[in-house]
Structure 1
């Protein structure tokens, strides 16, 4: 290239002009090489960045998909747990409502309520004990409000249950036969059972009242989509 340049220089051009001309040509040549080198390096760096970002995006997508699967699994477990708890809650309140209906039907419709006070005490006592057993066996599924009312009743009823046990122990074993012994114990405990019914009946009926209120909430909740359900 240098020979071609020199052969085409007019004779009238001085050495200084030649040097200036060559400097310009070399400057353009070097600038072009520098630009091409910079461009090549930049494209290489951009490609590396692109590859790195693609790797990060794939990694992020994989982690996102794994987390999504975990969340979906947890949601499915939560739904299953919710459905189980709700079914158990419904079963508990079904039994409590049936007991409530029997209690008030006996109290309001049975002629024996006024005819035989002793039998009434025994019937009410039986309902009270059945309610106690249901609530204690299913404490996980009752509402906080029902639990509070039950605790109030139990605070008052405990002394009568204790007295019943004490009265039974005092006569236990005094009869010759097991049948007679059972009758003696039952009769000895009647006073405590009577006191329990008479002194805690209002508190027990407060429990039945709360059962009815909770039932209304359960009915409302059962009519909602699963995703929006909330209950006590």
Structure 2
């Protein structure tokens, strides 16, 4: 395991990759962008690193010796302190990328990747993470819809029975975008721009996966969705009326 110890606190990115050459290329690229970088060969090295120092982001290869990337991502997602993860996949199958997002990855990037895209995705995920911990102008604001409540201050979603439903950062951003524009047809590109900004890559399919997951968490029948409806040739529409409370 290679660790560049910082002289002052900077953003620390852990690269979990058993291919030494690929790991070193990513490390050098991110170091040039001003990030502190740690290289781990497997999940156990990542665990030891995380126990010693604070990490801001993990670049996690899907195929690893021993515990695979999906299992590691699942553990990180269920940890008390949420650590953002970008899954790096060598396989081109959509199912591998979907599985990564399903177990809690914030984004994915298939190999081979453009170095500029890697940097853009790292910046995008870190920005969303920092915004999540920053005081928000929506602090105290509550959205109510179809018996559900979303508290924008705590980012907590409560179902009609008052039980908390966990959302990833991407799912939360997507839900807020829909709640801010209820009963309006929103194109996929609009949602992509509002949730991922200028760093979104052309033909990015992350929105589609997150919409599917969000529907499931809201109990929306994917065959006949009543909350987030698909408008053929148009986009998506958040159907229930939304009530706002607070600022």
Q: What TM bracket, shorter-length normalisation?
A: under 0.3
TM-score, length-normalised on structure 1? Answer: 0.23
> Of the two structures, which has the highest relative contact order with CA contacts closer than 8 Å and spacing of 6 or more?
1
Q: Which is helix-richer, 1 or 2?
A: 1
